[in-house]
Amino acid sequence: MEKRDELYAGKAKSVYLTDNPDELILFFRDDTSAFDGERIEQLARKGEVNNKFNAFIMEKLAAAGIPTHFKSLLSPQESIVKKLDMLPVECVVRNIAAGSLCKRLGVQEGLDIEPPTFEFFLKNDELHDPMINEYHIRAFGWGTDKQIEAMQSLTFSVNQVLKALFAEAGLLLVDYKLEFGDFHGEMVLGDEFTPDGCRLWDAETRKKLDKDRFRQGLGGVVEAYEEVAHRLGVDLS
């Protein structure tokens, strides 16, 4: 497999074409972004930790029957993935109230959400990722009915698998964001699952072990990601 031109560079990852039209290389940089790219800092080791963390989680999801883009680790900061036609939407499931939900609805942080909620957001930094619903997705051609259904059902399936996985490691999966894309007619989980795109709290102390440490200036960001990885048994060597 040969690495070719850069296809695009996002806020935290760069994407490269390969000699296989169905495969890409994702390069996990050390860049850490918050507030839709308003604040970006380099955090040593974050790219490598996230690349290995993501590989571990994607393999668990695939083993549970969820179609993912992940193929294999290529290097400490790179993975080979299926090239998807990404939908410009983000799927968020919440088990515990935090973040924008608290601001939007005046709900207290830490409240259990039962049953969990599902929200769509438009992936658009300039517009600050506004919340949208199924009608917007259909009306503006961002996805079909079938794709909407698949995204919702796969995002909830991920919740079942990962809530249990994190619980075994003494962690609460507070909420998370997923992105999907089309691969030859099938909806497939793309992008990443790392502490950059979810909230994880220690089950006993409720200490934040995710990107909120960066957003809120709490420090020890990569150390927290490494602690989570260690508890899950992710090989960071």
Q: Which residues bind ligand TMP (CB under 6 A)?
A: 90, 92, 99-101, 121, 129, 175-177, 197-199
130 touches ligand ASP (CB under 6 A): no
Per-position x/- string for 47-86, each x denoting binding to ligand ADP as judged by CB under 6 A, each - no binding: ----------------------x-----------xxxx-x
Of 175, 179, 210, 226, the one binding ligand ADP by CB under 6 A: 179
Question: In the complex, what is the shortest distance from the CB of residue 190 to ligand ADP, in angstroms, rounded to a whole number?
Answer: 4
Instruction: Determine if 10 is a binding residue for ligand ADP (CB under 6 A).
Output: yes
Q: State in angstroms the smallest separation of the CB of 35 from ligand ASP.
A: 5
Query: Nearest residue by C-beta to ligand TMP?
Result: 99
Query: Which amino acid belongs to residue 108?
Result: Q
Residue nearest to ligand ASP (CB): 33
Contact track, ligand ASP, 141-180, x by CB under 6 A: ----------------------------------------
Written in H, E and C, the secondary structure of the chain is CCEEEEEEECCCEEEEEECCCCEEEEEECCEEEECCCCEEEECCCHHHHHHHHHHHHHHHHHHCCCCECEEEEEECCEEEEECCEECCEEEEEEEECCHHHHHHHCCCCCCEEEEEEEEEEECCCCCCCCEECHHHHHHCCCCCHHHHHHHHHHHHHHHHHHHHHHHHCCEEEEEEEECEEEECCEEEECCCCCCCCEEEEECCCCCECCCHHHHCCCCCHHHHHHHHHHHHCCCCC
115 preceded by a cis bond (ω within 30 of 0): yes
CA angle 107, 109, 115 (to 5 degrees): 70
> CB of residue 108 vs ligand ASP: minimum separation in angstroms?
21
Question: Which residue stretch of 27-35, 52-60, 75-83, 112-120 sits at the interface with ligand ASP (rule: CB under 6 A)?
Answer: 27-35
CB of 237 to ligand ASP, least distance (A): 28
x-or-dash pattern for ligand ASP, window 3-22, by CB under 6 A?
--------x-----------
Query: Rule CB under 6 A: is residue 29 a binding residue for ligand ASP?
Result: no
